Structure 1
Amino acid sequence: MFDLSSITIDSRLVANIATTFSLLVAVIVVKKIFNLAWSRWEKRVISRASRKKTVATESLKTKIAILHRIITAGIYFFALIFFLLQFEAVRNIGTGLLASAGVAGIVIGMAAQNTISNLIAGVSISFSQPVRLNDAVIFDNEFGWIEEISLMHTIIRTWDNRRIIVPNDILSSKVIQNWTMRDSSLLGIVMVYVDYKIDIEKIKRWVKEIVDGSSHSSREKVSVVQVVDFTEKTMVLRILAKGDDAPSTWNLRCEIREKLAEHFRKEEGIFPLIRIWDAKDEHPHPNN
């Protein structure tokens, strides 16, 4: 028969296994408690801030999200340190590591330059806040919304539901348009090329009716029609209208074009005509 008494058990190994298991359980419990407490605190703080204004709420959400990731990373980091210290070999080389910390730091710093740069940029973005969660932005000629800001990268959700993942060090060093930095409302521009005979006051009335009746326009119901240029054949009109946010402004511009097109189909003389003067005309062309 197999003699169990011949089996020797290393007490240190058993102790290390027990300690490692206890540490794993402790990390899981601490993380669960932390997430629960954090979730309740976050809801309370954001609810309080949302009663004031949206910009402050989005700013707070961004800071809370980054702070949560930093604390979570800290929990895992210290758990890993405690885990490694259970092994005697790791403890024995600790002195040597401290002695060579300067050289090792330089080597690691050079190898992980991009990673460290992204981490620093991520923390910087979370507190300086050139962008925040749900901000409408234009980055590299792409329009979208800030969907996520992590310690390493930022995710931009485009209008057609694509995701642009930008490393934080690139985001912090490039120019980015933020359309909701202080106020989410935007002025939309519609350019119209019309004949010189057009009644501009009539165009103004049409635009005002469209803006006043639109669900996409802002509460101020801004509608402005300006003659901004003369060309050889046309007058150039610029129509300004305001929406509460980028999507509303885009839809408002489209609505103005569509409804003006309906008016133009019913009217004559809106669009420029090619004029030819005969030499016998009462008002001859200057070139004749």
Structure 2
Amino acid sequence: MIDWTSWTGTGVAIGIALVVALAIVLGLRLVARLLSRRVPWMRDLDHRVRRAWVTFCIVLAIWIAGAVTAPGRQEWWGSASHVMFIAAMVTAGWLLAALVSFGFEGLIAREQVSFSGADLRRRRTQLIVLHRLTLVVIGVIAVGAVLFSFPALRVVGTSLLASAGIVSVIAGLAAQSIFGNLIAGIQIAFTDTIRVGDVVVVEGEWGTIGEINLSYVVVYIWDERRLVVPCSYFTTKPIETWTRKSDAILGTVFLDLDWRVPIDDVRAKFEQIIESLPEWDRRSSSCWVTDSQGGHVTVRLVMSAKNSDDQWVLRCQVREQMVTWLQQEHPEALPRTRVSVES
């Protein structure tokens, strides 16, 4: 007969508790594998929460075993039990965060199938911000539960929450820079100011919105640099966005040419060039003389593309081919400076 009030009984109880916890973990993994034959995402869920679930079960098993055996009758068990409670809260928060992350990632993957273009960017941005905000709330609740387990902090916290000045305290915190950026991050997500994947010009830099966090936004610059901007920037300053309603965009090439340029030939060559380029989406094209001063005329070539990347390639191709054609076929159209010398 085992004496559960002895340290030997404690060791046996901990061993039994760990075996039971291991059995529960393995049983759930087996169930997940069986269900994954019909529900494929069950295998991914098991992989995502496995570490957090195993850790939580181990902490809970040791805590229960210690409470019902010899340590539970010791004077120091109160402090040890408090430590176990903190460990349980932390691992429970970890487990809940893993479940939430898995759920949001599944939603984002489903949105990528159901939507495209601006709608996809808007919904993905909202889900990303909601995901991060939910993780922050889980972290705050877990930390709050740990802090409120200390009697001294519980008294202070209860008094603070019960006081009439709590509203002014929250307002004062929100006025600070970090909380101002947090509020701006939520505002960005739900007012559709910018979205992950939008093409923008910020601080004179052309790039793509790569990350929208709760306090800052990361802009992926075209040359692989990264521009980190506070969220409040996008709610207080004007920015240039190329994909607000659609990815489609117009591109422009300006040519400064001599007055003797044959405009009809230039227009015909321009149409021939864009017809041969796959980047042109056939929505719009035009060739007009838009200015004539300083000893030359300005020819503006406008062409449309389905997105900014194609627009860049299209502009470069048109510019190169037009310059080459003018050099070979109409050198008299190239810009020049005239000087009149009087004898």
- Please report the TM-score for the alignment, with normalisation by the length of structure 2: 0.72
Q: Supply the RMSD in Å over aligned alpha carbons.
A: 2.7
Matches within 5 A, 1:168-183: 168-183=231-246
User: Among residues 229, 232, 248, which one is paired with 2:291 in the alignment?
Assistant: 229
User: Among residues 59, 69, 93, which one is paired with 1:27 in the alignment?
Assistant: 93
Q: Distance in 2 between matches of 1:39 and 1:93?
A: 39
Structure 1 residue 101 displacement after superposition: 6.6
Amino acid at match of 1:97: L
Answer yes or no: is the 8 Å Cα contact 1:223–1:239 preserved in 2. Answer: yes
Deviations 1:62-84 (A, max 9, x none): 00000001111111111111111
Answer yes or no: is the 8 Å Cα contact 1:66–1:126 preserved in 2. Answer: yes
Q: SS of 1:254's equivalent?
A: helix
Q: Distance in 2 between matches of 1:38 and 1:107?
A: 29
Structure 1 residue 141 displacement after superposition: 1.1
**Corresponding residue of 2:216:** 153
Matched, 1:270 2:336: no
Structure 1 residue 110 displacement after superposition: 5.6
Deviations 1:44-66 (A, max 9, x none): 23322x2xx41111110000000
**Corresponding residue of 1:41:** 107
Amino acid at match of 1:252: L
5+ residue gaps in structure 2? 1-6, 8-69
**Corresponding residue of 1:200:** 263
5+ residue gaps in structure 1? 280-288
Matches within 5 A, 1:61-140: 61-98=124-161, 102=165, 105-106=168-169, 109=172, 113-140=176-203
**Structure (1/2) with the larger helix percentage:** 2
Deviations 1:157-183 (A, max 9, x none): 111111111111122100001100012
Q: SS of 2:194's equivalent?
A: coil
User: Among residues 268, 272, 277, which one is paired with 1:209 in the alignment?
Assistant: 272
User: Among residues 255, 263, 273, which one is paired with 2:317 in the alignment?
Assistant: 255
**Corresponding residue of 1:239:** 301
Answer yes or no: is the 8 Å Cα contact 1:122–1:151 preserved in 2. Answer: yes
Q: Distance in 1 between matches of 2:98 and 2:324?
A: 61
Structure 1 residue 10 displacement after superposition: 2.1
275 and 34 in structure 1: CA distance in 2 versus 1, 3 angstrom threshold: closer
Q: Distance in 2 between matches of 1:178 and 1:211?
A: 25
**Corresponding residue of 2:46:** none
Q: Distance in 2 between matches of 1:277 and 1:64?
A: 68
Q: SS of 1:133's equivalent?
A: coil
215 and 15 in structure 1: CA distance in 2 versus 1, 3 angstrom threshold: same
Structure 1 residue 94 displacement after superposition: 3.2
**Corresponding residue of 1:284:** none
**Corresponding residue of 1:60:** 123
Deviations 1:70-110 (A, max 9, x none): 11111111111111122222223334434667289549826
Deviations 1:186-220 (A, max 9, x none): 21111112222222111011111111111222243
Structure 1 residue 252 displacement after superposition: 1.3
Q: Distance in 2 between matches of 1:276 and 1:38?
A: 70
Structure 1 residue 33 displacement after superposition: 2.1
Q: SS of 1:67's equivalent?
A: helix
Q: Which has the higher contact order (CA 8 A, sep 6+)?
A: 1
152 and 274 in structure 1: CA distance in 2 versus 1, 3 angstrom threshold: closer
**Corresponding residue of 2:15:** none
Q: Distance in 2 between matches of 1:118 and 1:224?
A: 44
Q: Distance in 1 between matches of 2:138 and 2:211?
A: 21
Answer yes or no: is the 8 Å Cα contact 1:188–1:241 preserved in 2. Answer: yes
Q: Distance in 2 between matches of 1:27 and 1:277?
A: 83
Answer yes or no: is the 8 Å Cα contact 1:137–1:143 preserved in 2. Answer: yes
Answer yes or no: is the 8 Å Cα contact 1:207–1:223 preserved in 2. Answer: no
Q: Percent identity?
A: 26
Q: Distance in 2 between matches of 1:265 and 1:8?
A: 95
Q: Distance in 1 between matches of 2:200 and 2:306?
A: 15
Answer yes or no: is the 8 Å Cα contact 1:137–1:178 preserved in 2. Answer: yes
Q: Distance in 1 between matches of 2:112 and 2:260?
A: 57
User: Among residues 59, 73, 77, which one is paired with 1:11 in the alignment?
Assistant: 77
Answer yes or no: is the 8 Å Cα contact 2:207–2:220 preserved in 1. Answer: yes
Q: SS of 2:75's equivalent?
A: coil
Which is worse superposed, 270-279 or 8-17?
270-279
